[in-house]
Amino acid sequence: MGLRLPILLLLLCCVSGLPFYNGFYYSNRPNGRNLGNGYSEGIFNGVKLVVETPEETLFSHRGANVTLPCRYHYEPALASPRPVRIKWWKLSENGVPEQDVLVAIGLRQRTFGDYRGRVHLRQDRAREVSLEIRDLRLEDYGRYRCEVIDGLEDESGLVELELRGVVFPYQHPQGRYKFNFHEAQQACEEQDAVVASFEQLFRAWEEGLDWCNAGWLQDASVQYPITQARHPCGGPGLAPGVRSYGQRHHRLHRYDVFCFAVALRGQVYYLEHPEKLTLTEAREACREDGAQIAKVGQLFAAWKFRGLDRCDAGWLADGSARYPVAHPRSNCGTLEPGVRSFGFPDPHSRKYGVYCYRLR
């Protein structure tokens, strides 16, 4: 008898028409349906299993704790509880593979990968199976699926998590169109950011981002946002929008990149110093002040979310010189809010101050 059960299970999984067996049975749900509005239901033995998740996108920020809501119930209601298996995973997106997050059976929970030690199942109320993620990271945004498995039946709901952030264009120190896709990814990471997704770029365009240089996006497409049609940017005859060059070769093609930086946990500030500094002196001055020289993504996030406003150009970690203007005025460049850039000056030049970043 000891050998019969494993052999029988092995044979069952190979029989056409039977569901795949991995310790739990899954069905095709021919009677199930998606109700929209965050509801999904399946029918078995005259009882409907319904999973509820929010339809709207959840927004949070790096370092925060967030709960992805998920509940389930039966219609009609059952008199006694039934054992279920809960699975949370992050969906594949922009070439990033699907990631298991958590599996739970009763009081037993198992977490996976980078989520270990940061996630747990919240079961404060009956049939609540919400996922709490602690200390949110830049790469945590995306779409998560909550699956409830009851015997032969399983139903699931989708939760979308977005981090509050800002999209900014980034060029190589040597000029326009110097990054292949892999170099673009590294460049954004070095500026405390990630390569932006199309959705993030589109939202930035809706908020007024206008940039005539094409840049890589997370799905390896190359695009650029135009709010005012003009000759160098596709011509005045085209309507405003996000222009696309489509997918490009990861290694052979070279462009700029659009990066995405999220709200800060620390503080960016202009260091008051009696003299202008070289780049090396700027780094040392921040260290002496108990901080480090700020990165481009940090400066953009401080401008976007903290309203950082300073008319003094300062060195940043990548060797560029920039300054943030939240309240445009005549002596601070154009009459549009934004982060102004002086490019990548001679690192030995003493024309600039420095922006520092200190963790709180």
pLDDT (tens digit per residue) in 41-57: 555 567 899 999 999 99
Average pLDDT, the chain: 88
pLDDT at position 337 over 70: yes
Q: Which residue has the tokens 């029989």?
A: 15
For residue 120, the one-letter residue type is H
**Which of 64-78, 108-122, 168-182, 225-239 has the weakest average pLDDT?**
225-239
Is residue 281's pLDDT more than 90?
A: yes
What are the CA-CA distances from residue 259 to residues 9, 71, 134, 189, 325 (Å)? 49, 35, 24, 9, 19
Taking residues 80-87, report their average pLDDT: 91
Q: Where are the beta strands (DSSP E) in 66-195?
A: 66-68, 71-75, 85-90, 99-105, 108-111, 119-122, 130-133, 142-150, 153-163, 165-170, 194-195
Q: Place 216 in a pLDDT band, splitting at 50, 70 and 90.
A: very high
HSE-CB for 36 with a 13 A CA cutoff: 0
Instruction: Return the structure tokens found at 25.
Output: 């049975």
Above pLDDT 70, what percent of the chain? 87
Is a pLDDT exceeding 60 seen at residue 354?
Answer: yes
The predicted model gives 246-258 an average pLDDT of 97
The CATH class for the domain spanning 165-261 reads alpha beta
Check pLDDT > 80 for residue 358: yes
CA neighbor of 157 nearest in space, from 30, 78, 65, 41: 41
Phi-psi category of residue 340: left, alpha or beta, with phi > 0 → left and psi -120 to 50 → alpha: beta
Closest by Cα among 41, 24, 29 to 105 = 24
Question: Looking at this protein, which amino acid is placed at residue 349?
Answer: S
- If you classify domain 48-163 with CATH, what class do you get? mainly beta
Residue 32 has pLDDT above 70, yes or no: no
CA gap 257, 98 in Å, rounded = 25
- 3-class secondary-structure state, position 223: strand
The residue ranges of every structural domain in the chain are 48-163, 165-261, 263-359
40: confidence class by pLDDT, cuts 50, 70, 90: low
Instruction: Compute φ and ψ for 23, nearest 5 degrees.
Output: 100, -20
Would the CATH topology of 165-261 be identical to that of 263-359? yes
Are the beta carbons of 142 and 57 closer than 8 angstroms? no
Confidence at residue 26, expressed as pLDDT on a 0 to 100 scale: 29
SS3 95: coil
Residues in the chain: 360
In this model, does residue 81 exceed pLDDT 60?
yes
* Dihedral angle over CA of 244, 245, 249, 253, nearest 10: -120
pLDDT of amino acid 42: 57
Residue 79 pLDDT class (50, 70, 90 cuts): confident
Under the banding of pLDDT at 50, 70 and 90, the label for residue 263 is: confident
Which among 127, 130, 213 is positioned nearest to 170, based on CA atoms?
213
In contact, 335 and 325? CB cutoff 8 Å: no
Q: What is the pLDDT of residue 13?
A: 39
pLDDT in tens, 193-215: 999 999 999 999 999 999 999 99
Domain 263-359 bears CATH identifier 3.10.100.10: yes
Per-residue pLDDT tens over the stretch 122-148: 988 889 999 999 999 988 989 999 999
**CB contact set of 159 (below 8 Å; sequence gap of 6+):** 53, 54, 58, 68, 69, 70, 131, 143, 144, 145, 146
Q: Phi-psi region for residue 157, left (φ > 0), alpha (ψ -120 to 50) or beta?
A: beta
Quickly state the pLDDT bin for 30 (edges 50, 70, 90).
very low
Mark residue 33 as left, alpha or beta (left: phi above 0; alpha: psi -120 to 50; beta: remaining): beta
Q: Where are the alpha helices (DSSP H) in the chain?
A: 4-14, 181-190, 198-206, 279-288, 296-306
pLDDT at position 107: 87
Whether 321 contacts 345, CB under 8 Å = yes
Q: Range with the lowest mean pLDDT among 35-49, 86-100, 118-132?
A: 35-49
CA-based nearest residue to 242, from 201, 208, 207, 272: 201
pLDDT > 90 fraction of the chain, expressed in percent and rounded: 73
Phi, psi of 100 (to 5 degrees): -70, 140
Q: What is the pTM of this model?
A: 0.76
pLDDT at 82: 87
